[in-house]
Chain A
Amino acid sequence: MAEALIPRAFVARLWARVFRRNRVSSGFPFVASGVLGLVLICALFGPWIAPYRATAISLADAMTPPAWMEGGSASHLLGTDNLGRDILSRIIAGARVSTTVAFYAIVLSGLIGAGLGMAAGYFGGVVDAVISRVIDTQMAVPSIPLAMLFAAVLPPGEAMVIFIIVLSYWTWYARIVRGEVMSLRERDFIALAKVAGVGTPTIFVRHLAPNLLNTLLVLATLQFGSVIVFEAGLSFLGLGIQPPQVSWGGMLSDGRNFIEVAWWLITIPGIAIMAACLASNLLGDWLRDTFDPLRRQVW
């Protein structure tokens, strides 16, 4: 089943492009992939890597600066916050939360968006008209006010953050997939499949979906960073991830109260957000250039 959806040639091509420089693609962004890999490792194995529990309070160690500063200590490499919680451990725990939210949000908005986009592009007519209007409307409502609205009525937490992100991100997938399917629909192999009596569900899964993989992979990679920033913004406002769960945005919000005495509380979580987002942008740009050299961006 997995092989039906993800053709071996696709994997082979991707592999070849990672390790061989060729004319169409610039060098594989190893640093960016390394950073993303690090974030994923923290997300998967965080509790076993982190030196302390992210929520462990130790008032005796409160406000220890990072190890390389005067007054820092090797037992807290990135320092501690006002409650003596270890910043490194909290960054690692935050990676887990951010990645989890981003994963579910991207998979769900990808499934919903791609599904509706495929339906709109393939069936055309009334189906397309209705779905396109919904997309237009959704895109005409700015996403942050919308987030405020649902933050006011839904119980806060991970599920709500994912819901809010899906609500404003599915339209990207829907719009792009719709366009691609509209041109795929006209191709011979789809017409032949139809003549051969292949059912519509099979055409969707076996013939359309594999051809959309490139696009979906590029979009999902580019959106990983954007989702992390969005979640950080919500959590910074106090409307996203709720304590005691740790999030990078929440750490910034806590650190803000001590901005005059502890610079590391607001710089370090921000660097984590920036690194994750920058890495996913770079990798996404590379994937786009590789899969679609003609639409390559100038920079």
Chain B
Amino acid sequence: MTRYVISRVLQGLIAIFGALLIVFVAQRLSGDPVALMLPMDASEADFAAMREALGLDRPLLIQFAIFLGNALTGDFGQSYQWNAPAMQLLLDRLPATLELAMAGLLFAVLLAVPLGVFSAVHRGSWMDRSAKVFAMLGQAIPGFWIGLLLILFIAVELQWLPAYGRGTLAHLVLPAVALGWYPVAAMTRTLRSSMLDVLESDYIRMERAIGLPERTIVWRYALRNAAVPLVTMVGVYFANMLGGAFVIEVVFAWPGVGRTVVDAVFARDFPVVQAGVMLSAVVFVVVNLLVDLSYGFIDPRIRRG
């Protein structure tokens, strides 16, 4: 187990290093990195100071070392749009993104678990077939379009819920549904197939023989084991959403990490863009690592093996 943990942590570190390398290369790709790091109206003295700070007259390897050193302290430069440290700016917006991600996942799980379980238990029924159609549509319809449709029908036509912004619980509903839309389909598919496997296993047959009520068997014993692959999926989606639900946040004008990064791309506020990429890479790696490690606790067989 210790060796496994160490190798997974190392893998994660390599991945983060790789992300830093990509950001560095992208910075140089544009020609003059200083032009990216400073506002358009910066003076010649600002340019000279920035060149000095980045060590642009030094060899590329030294430049990368400087970049790494800064990155390790969380320093990705100043956002000139907001006049604040880029990473701090994004961390300030993280709670909004976290709130949206948790609500989206909650919606996805609350819908996917009953759908997956019922369609596995009543395999081949009309319920199973409609869940299949639903899952297929879910994978083909982009979440941001669902978001637009929700705004059109629920917010504009029916005027039940607000369409834009963050504040009350009512503001959270539509973006959460749009964000959770895609995961619902994938989770339902996964849960249904793992549930089908579990329901055919020996210990379930044994519980049936003992005469436990079917409801107890399905919801207490079968679901607990069938849900293991679901844990990974929840982890992966959570990691993805935390890095910023870019398109959904833009659709609903949600003041989170994703929308800030998109705005920064338009404002040519590169420090914020690179901080955003690193933030989502780090979150992605860390959450995935935690999910993999949590497997050992959920499933003792993995811990021993």
Contacts and interface: CB of A to CB of B under 8 A. Distances in A.
Interface in A269-299: 270, 273-274, 277-278, 281-282, 297-299
A113 interface: no
Given A146-B277, A148-B277, A149-B277, A141 B140 contact: no
Interface stretch (A3-11, A59-67, A180-188, A233-241): A233-241
B246 A144 contact: yes
B152 A273 contact: no
Contacts of B12: 140
Contact of A137 (B15, B29, B261): B15
A252 B151 CA distance: 13
Interface string B176-218: 0000000000000100110010000000000000000000000
B245 to A, nearest CB: 9
26 contacts: A137-B15, A137-B17, A140-B281, A140-B284, A141-B22, A142-B280, A145-B277, A146-B277, A148-B273, A149-B273, A150-B26, A152-B26, A152-B264, A153-B27, A153-B270, A236-B250, A237-B262, A252-B144, A252-B148, A266-B145, A274-B140, A277-B141, A278-B140, A297-B189, A298-B196, A299-B193
Interface in A91-138: 133-134, 136-138
A237 B275 CA distance: 19
A263 B137 contact: no
A21 interface: no
Q: How large is the interface on A (under 10, 10 to 19, 20 to 34, 35 or more residues)?
A: 35 or more
Interface in B214-228: none
A141 B281 contact: yes
Interface in A53-74: none
Q: How large is the interface on B (under 10, 10 to 19, 20 to 34, 35 or more residues)?
A: 35 or more
Interface of B: 11-12, 14-19, 22-23, 26-27, 29-30, 36, 132, 135-137, 139-142, 144-145, 148-149, 151-152, 156, 189, 192-193, 196, 239-240, 243-244, 246-247, 250-251, 261-262, 264-266, 268, 270, 273-274, 276-277, 280-281, 284-285, 288
Contact of B247 (A134, A140, A237): A237
Interface of A: 133-134, 136-138, 140-142, 144-146, 148-154, 225, 229, 232-233, 236-239, 252, 256, 259-260, 263, 266-267, 270, 273-274, 277-278, 281-282, 297-299
Contacts of A138: 18
Contact of B137 (A150, A237, A256, A278): A278
A81 to B, nearest CB: 15
A238 B266 contact: yes
B268 A148 contact: no
A153 B36 contact: yes
B252 to A, nearest CB: 11
Given A141-B284, A152-B270, A152-B273, A263 B152 contact: yes
Contact of B274 (A149, A232, A267, A299): A149
B138 to A, nearest CB: 10
Contacts of A239: 262, 265
A267 B139 CA distance: 18
Contacts of A297: 189, 193
Nearest to A280: B140
B276 A154 contact: no
A263 B150 CA distance: 12
Nearest to B189: A299
Contacts of B288: 140
A236 B144 contact: yes
A233 B239 CA distance: 19
Contacts of A148: 246, 261-262, 265, 273, 276-277
A149 B23 contact: yes
B280 A133 contact: no
